[in-house]
Structure 1
Amino acid sequence: MPVSLKLHHLRALVNVVSQGSIRAASRNAGLSQPALTKAIQELEQILGTRVLERHPQGIQLNDVGEHFYRHARLVLEEIRIAQEEVSQHLGDITGQIHLGIGGSMACTLMPKVIDCFQQRYPRVNVHIVEGQLSSMLPALRQGTLDFTINTVTQLPFERELSFEPLAVVDYPVVVRQGHPLRHAKHLCELSEAKWTMPPSTSSYCSLLEQLYSGHSLPQVRVTYESLIACASLVTQSDFLSIISSHIVNTPILSDQLVALDLVTPAPQATFYFVQRKDHQLGPISAYLAQLFRDFSQTPR
């Protein structure tokens, strides 16, 4: 009798890929190595092709495996969410939420939202990932990220994602207190300065390109993934950057940063609520999303 595809086949594949080896996956899952190996062999028999390849650095997905793995992750995540929704409707308010957020909102809006959320749902675990939208796309597609609050300069991926505008934020050019260019008024005065920005795929760099439209773009020699790294570099050196006005005005940085009063100010950035179009949030995730909407309309 042919073997049919079951959830334990999907869990075995996802576990092996995430752990990098059968041995590590068996420890993680509490299963014997032969049982895990059998599950992978059955999966490949059902699919009619290999999905994993052994390499000196460990087990890796082949091209077919990459495609199937994305679907397997998504199926398992949807099942987890469905189980949590049933429990929540029955009054068992537990579960977990995975959200992504841009650095500006992580330092300003997010603390108030999470504090309010935890007061109502203290038994729900919240996992927060800070970064640019570009770095979160794989997790959004795979369903391992429920939603993100992030800047978007263009609206790509319309077929996959929905974009709901939440807030428009000023993004001034900033320098440290006492910086030689702190009184600069014109873009040409900043062309030879040292700049630090996120990677070129980020919306922040798109802001810089808009700011210097028609001018010579300054060379960005230092890029960063963390807002803390940016703030530390700008406050302790002569580097310039573009940072949310909310960040500049926080108690921690307001005495250390100066927003330049340029004749041509930097463009504003719009923060969006972003999620997969085919993904409906559970009641607890929907409540957290609504808190972000409500607090984004409240003056900070």
Structure 2
Amino acid sequence: MKMHHFRNVVAVVERGSLRAAARSLGLAQPVVSRSLKELEEELGVTLFERGRLGMVPTKAGELFVRRAKAIQAEYQRTLDELDQHRGVDKGSIVVACSGAALMGLLPLTLDRFRRRFPGVRVKVIEGTYPMLEADIRDGLIDLYFGPVTKPQQHTNMSIKPLM
């Protein structure tokens, strides 16, 4: 398995078809198709149902895509950390907020963050903790600001009350 396999599968899911995925990646459609076929053979599962209206992930495909997104995020995080180690001020962070935190806390915080780290891209997602918990656990979201309905002890997460 190679990084382009993960990238291609995620692109097909996000775009809904081989043609649209290939176009978004700047590749020829047969290249993406061949990549998916190689991956399915390697894994021994069918990742997509192919139809006239596009491609829909199978249950195995849904499982694979969830992990593929996490792997892509971790890979990008690794590249960003190496850049930062070399003194390059760039990278990205994904912040999720509840509606109240988005309106009340984020504007001032985000403004200060951008002034201090101008080369860092910030992606903001609105949602509630239960809705976003899986993405937080998988490392697709770096920070969450908002109420946590039932705080639990998590081995890979730190929950700290702000107010």
The answer, yes or no, to whether TM exceeds 0.5 is yes
Check the 8 A contact 1:13/1:69 in 2, yes or no: yes
70 and 117 in structure 1: CA distance in 2 versus 1, 3 angstrom threshold: same
Asked whether the equivalents of residues 44 and 50 of structure 1 are also in contact (C-alpha less than 8 Å), the reply is yes
Higher strand residue share: 1
TM, length-normalised to structure 1: 0.51
Correspondent of 2:67 among 64, 68, 71: 71
**How high is the TM-score relative to the length of structure 2?**
0.91
The CA distance in 1 between the partners of 2:92 and 2:155, in whole Å, is 27
Q: Deviations over 1:227-252 (max 9, x none)?
A: xxxxxxxxxxxxxxxxxxxxxxxxxx
Partner in structure 2 of residue 135 of structure 1: 131
Answer whether contact 2:18 2:54 (CA < 8 A) is retained: no
Q: Which has the larger radius of gyration?
A: 1
CA RMSD of aligned residues (A): 1.8
Q: Give, as a single letter, the amino acid of the residue that structure 1 aligns with 2:119.
A: R
Q: Any conservation in 1 of the 2:93–2:142 contact (CA below 8 Å)? A: yes
Contact 1:73 1:143 in 2 (8 A): no
- Say whether the 8 Å CA contact 1:100–1:129 is kept in structure 2: yes
Alpha-carbon distance in 1 for matches of 2:53, 2:136: 28
Residue of structure 2 equivalent to 1:120:
116
Q: Kindly provide the CA deviation profile for residues 60-83 of structure 1, in whole angstroms up to 9, marking residues without a partner as x.
A: 111111112211111111000010
Where structure 2 has 5 or more consecutive residues not aligned to the other structure, the ranges are none
Distance 1:75 1:97 in 2: 15
Q: Which amino acid aligns with 1:93?
A: D
Identity of aligned residues (%): 34
Aligned-pair CA distance for 1:52: 0.8
Unaligned runs of 5+ in 1: 168-300
| Higher helix residue share | 2
Task: Report how far residue 98 of structure 1 moved.
Answer: 0.9
Amino acid across the alignment from 1:128: V
Aligned length in residues: 163
* Aligned residue runs from structure 1 range 1-300, under 5 A: 5-156=1-152, 158=154, 161-167=157-163
Superposed CA offset, 1:34-82 (max 9, x none): 0000000000010012111124542111111111221111111100001
Contact 1:22–1:33 (Cα < 8 Å) also in 2: yes
- Greater relative contact order: 1 or 2 (C-alpha under 8 angstroms, separation 6 or more)? 1
